[in-house]
Amino acid sequence: MTNEELKKIANDIRIDIVKSIHAAGSGHPGGSLSSADILTALYFEVMNIDPENPEMKERDKFILSKGHANPALYAALAERGFFPKEELITLRKPGTKLQGHPNMHYVPGVEMSTGSLGQGLSVAVGMALANKMDNNPGRIYTLHGDGEIQEGMIWEAAMAAVHYKLDNLTAIVDWNGLQIDGKNDDVMKVAPIADKFAGFGWNAFECDGHDIEDIVIALKQAANVKDRPTVIIAKTVKGKGVSFMENEAGWHGKAPDDEQFEKAIKDLGGEM
């Protein structure tokens, strides 16, 4: 796909994020919007997946460790054809399969039920190790919030990934600098993130988390690294694309009202 086509998909994903959260009356727009370009790069340019055969044995697997950003994952899966886009409007509604956090038992394409922060990398390590043991060429990708890596479990998993030489594992950190309580630096400083992972033995580098071409290049470089896992620190803007949400920690976990919804859709060039 061309870079312009990928940009349009990312914008469509952002529009669907806003629409689904507004319809639900609750959700997490900030970190969902910041990760839209990353998910576009993964699902439309990099990962070996098949919406017609979501259980394909040699598929690549993606784990949304920051499970509260599931409106972005659902929008990407629907855009890719795993389920009808019309279902996105049922987010968080009673009886829907699109629950507040991803559920692997209900939604095709969801590889792991997530939500408790810090657990995704441990699961990814297990999946990557299993693929190594089975000679399965599928790669494992996982996406984390920058606030999430304050969790100690992340670093236990990071140590294990290096010990087992999991070069089929790529972790991505959505580094927007904010978490629910404010700036990362005020809550618990996480920078320099790349240096911390490198200290554990990871191949680590940074990219522009809103430049899809840059993200794709980084992901493809990671696939060529041997004998150790890779982490990509993707520099992003929380609430990207919606003027009044950008760089505002207050939009971590609340839905826009009707007036804000109209403004957000207008910012994104979408239709009501």
Q: How far apart are CA 162 and CA 204, in angstroms?
A: 12
Q: With 0-12 CB in 10 A as exposed, 13-18 as middle and 19+ as buried, what is 182? A: middle
**For residue 239, which of 34, 36, 75 has the smallest C-alpha distance?**
34
The reported pLDDT for the residue numbered 272 is 78
The average pLDDT across 183-211 equals 97
| Cβ–Cβ under 8 Å, residues 25 and 250 | no
The average pLDDT across 221-241 equals 98
> Could you read off the pLDDT of 117-130 as tens digits, one per residue?
999 999 999 999 99
| Cβ–Cβ under 8 Å, residues 246 and 237 | yes
Q: What are the strands, taking DSSP E only, across 59-168?
A: 61-64, 140-145
Report the predicted TM-score, pTM, of the whole model to 2 decimal places.
0.97
Classify domain 3-267 at the CATH class level: alpha beta
> Could you read off the pLDDT of 157-166 as tens digits, one per residue?
999 999 999 9
| pLDDT above 70 coverage of the chain, percent | 100
Q: How far apart are CA 237 and CA 174, in angstroms?
A: 9
Q: How far apart are CA 221 and CA 7, in angstroms?
A: 21
Structure tokens at 118: 């810090």
Q: How far apart are CA 141 and CA 42, in angstroms?
A: 9
Q: Do β-strands 140-145 and 169-175 pair in parallel, antiparallel, or remain unpaired? A: parallel
